[in-house]
Structure 1
Amino acid sequence: MVLHFLVKGRVQGVGFRWFVQREAAELGLRGWVRNTDRGHVEIVAAGEADLLAELKAALRKGSRGSRVDAVLEDELLESEGAQLGAFEIEGAW
């Protein structure tokens, strides 16, 4: 299963991407996380449905210092997850 999440709230500049990367890697998910130019955080994650549900629960809770106002979710085609590797942060320095 492949899901796209968009997390809205105070999620930039508070370590949220690193939080997501750690949570997803611990669950053994594939994919990426990155900031958007609108102040949100975007995630594409691939794995078993129960593990993706655990990630979604972590996204709703958020990292220390963050404030999550909304987690939007869309299911993607399985083929969109074919090229995903180990979970990584995109656009990090």
Structure 2
Amino acid sequence: MSDDIGVLDRYLTVWIGLAMALGVGLGYAVPGVADLLNAVTFNGTSLPIAIGLFVIIYPIMAEIDYGRIPKVTRTARKEIGLTLAFN
């Protein structure tokens, strides 16, 4: 791994823990927030969760070198197969 990782990457576990604690704290401080978030759904999908996942995944997807995909799929067939099977 590169020595030039940013603060967000370096302390990702801390940020996730803080976000979880904030969510739990918000749930206790504002009891109606869970019902509010659950009300914002589209075809059974929670929009706040979908938006949050998009915000997390988009930067990763934007940095993919799509030209290397054929090489990776040739050398990692077993791993890709296992991933597809588990999903």
Same fold (TM over 0.5): no
Q: Which structure has the greater CA radius of gyration?
A: 2
Please identify which structure carries the higher helix content: 2
Give the structure, 1 or 2, with the largest relative contact order (CA under 8 Å, sep 6 or more).
1
